[in-house]
Amino acid sequence: MNLNKQIPLGVFFLLCFASFFLQCCAPVSIRQPSRPFDHKKINDLISMSREQEMRVHALFSSGRLTIKRRGSEVELDALIAGVRDSGKIKIEITHPWGRPLLHILLNEKRFQILSFSEKKYYSGYLGSFDPSGFFPGILDPDQIWTFVRGYPVIRKHNRAVSLKENQATLLNTNGEFVQVIDFHPQSSPPCSVFFPEQGIKITFSNFQNEDGIYYARKVGLNDPRTGSQLTFDLKQVVFNKAIPEEIFQLEKPVGFETILPHSAEER
């Protein structure tokens, strides 16, 4: 075969026209109009989320934290242990080279924090303030468990509605929004949960399924009011194994200054 033989211009034009014609006649994908969830779908999603809450009563995880604030970014290592029923969560944050930075112990609505860089011991109640600067916003126990668990806790509400596609909104008895949950279009796991009262948003990605337990391997927490963002990239996690009670103890080292917020002293 002569590879140098030229294709006649008329044949070349005809081939180009045929290609163009076939492309024009190809079926066009028409996106269906977006529709909010119906009541059955909303109830199914809420039931699924509550089932996931029941599946995990304890966890132990490790990963990398990225904390972004205006003009700064830092990456740290973290170990997390938590027991849902008792409301106890222990978070140990270290520099990448192993030096301890913060030990945080949450016990229901109380917190204790050891700041090794400041040599200070903080004790108080959640919702008063965050002396560690670890959480971008002032969170409650359910929000903190949502972050470390990698799956949203459904808040108490009076009714649930869907105002837009792939989204469920929970309202209280006064008709006020208490929680807005967005779901992945092609699957059931949530991709974000928004708390209107505080303006805080928690995002979830890279979901895994371990023996029926769904969890995100990457969780973000964003507080636009302070311009702060916290991201946890999960490396390892173990669910529902017994955690020694000794883990949930925090002893103040000798020489550390004790700081008690006014809100804690008053209570």
pLDDT above 50 (res 159): yes
Instruction: Please return the burial class of 175, using the count of CB atoms within 10 Å of its CB with bins 0-12, 13-18 and 19+.
Output: exposed
pLDDT, one tens digit per residue, over 224-250 is 877 889 999 999 999 999 999 999 999
With a pLDDT cut of 90, the percent of the chain lying above it is 66
Confidence of residue 2 (pLDDT cuts 50, 70, 90): very low
Q: What are phi and psi of 187, to 5 degrees?
A: -155, 175
70-117 residue pLDDT tens: 788 999 999 999 999 999 999 999 999 989 999 999 998 889 999 999
What pLDDT sits at residue 135? 65
State the SS3 of the chain: CCCCCCCCHHHHHHHHHHHHHHHHHCCCCCCCCCCCCCHHHHHHHHHHHHHHHHHCCEEEEEEEEEEEECCEEEEEEEEEEEECCCCEEEEEEECCCCCEEEEEEEECCEEEEEECCCCEEEEEECCCCCCCCCCCCCCCHHHHHHHHHCCCCCCCCCEEECCCCCEEEEECCCCCEEEEEEECCCCCCEEEEEECCCCEEEEEEEEEEECCEEEEEEEEEEECCCCEEEEEEEEEEEECCCCCHHHHCCCCCCCCEEECCHHHHHC
Hey, CA dihedral for 156, 189, 141, 74, is it positive or negative?
A: negative
DSSP 124: E
Q: Confidence class of residue 139 from pLDDT cuts 50, 70 and 90?
A: confident
Whether pLDDT at 217 is above 70: yes
Residue 47 has pLDDT above 80, yes or no: yes
Q: Quote the mean pLDDT of the chain.
A: 84
More confidently predicted of 16 and 104: 104
Q: What confidence score (pLDDT) does residue 133 get?
A: 66
Tokens 């702060």 sit on residue? 228
